[in-house]
Structure 1
Amino acid sequence: MKKVFILLLLFLCSCRSEEGAKLTVNAKNVPCKITRVVDGDTFRCRIDAEEITVRLIGVDTPESKENPKAKRDADRTGMSLEEITRMGREAYQFTKSLIPVGTTVYLETDVQLTDRYGRVLAYVWLPDGRMLNEVLLKEGYAQVYTIPPNVKYQDLFLSAQRKAREGKRGFWKQWF
């Protein structure tokens, strides 16, 4: 019986997820201190002693570097690769201005905790109470990118994008 207990304990310990081990599905107000902004919709932050990578739920910003996704986006939109990556750098700078290194943000998770790359999927609340995901859409630096089952704020995001497009804010004023 003791061997079974030890084997069970070892198994449970080995099932721990590397990213987001302290997070759970539908968590709210989890403080996370920014350590690096990766691009317009991805950053690294620290929860206690653990550093994680966070990907914003429901939004997609252009790629800031040439890669296969940037090339697909250029083909899909008819824009040049240079235009796509320029927009990506602008989105990166905008995100970086909202969450500079050292800022504490608050994570809210949804139904699916991580993506296939092991990044924590989250809605991110800024210290002033605004949601980063929504701000990027409102200001025209991102497009709605809904992947079920994480759809909690889908209607809010669609409304924010529509208003940015109608108001020709951010990318909507220059390229669309």
Structure 2
Amino acid sequence: RTDLPQAVVVRVIDGDTIVVNLNGMEEKVRLIGIDTPESRVNKRAEIQSREGLGDTQTILELGKKAKEFTASLVKPGDKVYLEFDVQQRDKYGRLLAYVYLQDGRMLNKEIICNGYAMPLTVPPNVKYEEEFRKCYKEARENRRGLWKE
């Protein structure tokens, strides 16, 4: 996907958020369409607990595994390509993107297909919604990643 804007990975914040250098600026990038368990205590971890993912401690452990999986796919210094959907930024100022690895695989899709995320649909950014839902279903049925237990 060399037709897309190129960025360089700075670090992985958690399973669904990375920091990249884009045109000389550090930017937080939220991976569109997926939601990984939180890796630190915050409001979202409490919500995930209420949604039945387990107690807060379990969520944080799952979040750590999701972050490690994401970090196994993107390392500081890696070149990635960013595809935007309808909205380019969220209310927190983060870039919203589908992130492509050097080998052409989409990071968002790799995370959900391997069982480390749930689908998160936030209209109008729904370009790969069906694909992500299908991947999620297959990951759960085949007990991949976080769904092993």
Cα deviations across residues 120-157 of structure 1 (Å, max 9, x unaligned)? 00001011111011101110000000100001111111
Identity of matched residues, %: 46
Equivalent residue, structure 1, for 2:125 = 150
State yes or no: 1:66 paired with 2:41: yes
Q: TM-score, normalised by structure 1?
A: 0.81
Counterpart residue number, 2:65: 90
Moved over 4 A (4+): none
For residue 148 of structure 2, give the secondary structure of its aligned residue in structure 1. Answer: helix
Deviation of 1:172 (Å): 1.4
Counterpart secondary structure, 1:159: helix
How many equivalent pairs are there?
147
CA RMSD, 1 decimal: 1.0
Please name the residue that 2:81 is paired with: 106
Counterpart in the other structure of 2:137: 162
Q: Give 1:78 deviation, angstroms.
A: 5.7
For residues 166 and 33 of structure 1, do their structure 2 counterparts lie closer, same or farther at Cα, with a shift above 3 Å needed? same
Any idea what the Cα deviations from partners look like across 1:53-83, whole Å, max 9, x if unmatched? 1000000000001111111211220611110
What secondary structure is seen at the aligned counterpart in 2 of 1:94?
A: helix
CA drift of 1:48 comes to 2.4
Q: 2:6 matched to which residue of 1?
A: 31
Instruction: Give the structure with higher Rg (CA).
Output: 1
Q: What is aligned with 2:147?
A: 172
Amino acid at match of 1:108: E
Contiguous gaps of at least 5 residues in structure 2: none
Q: What is the rounded CA distance, in whole Å, between the counterparts of 1:124 and 1:109 in structure 2?
A: 9
For structure 1, which runs of at least 5 residues remain unmatched after alignment? 1-27
Q: How far apart, in 1, do the equivalents of 2:82 and 2:22 lie?
A: 10
Matched, 1:131 2:138: no
Q: TM-score, normalised by structure 2?
A: 0.95
Q: 1:51 aligns with which of 19, 26, 41?
A: 26
Equivalent AA in structure 1 for residue 58 of structure 2: E
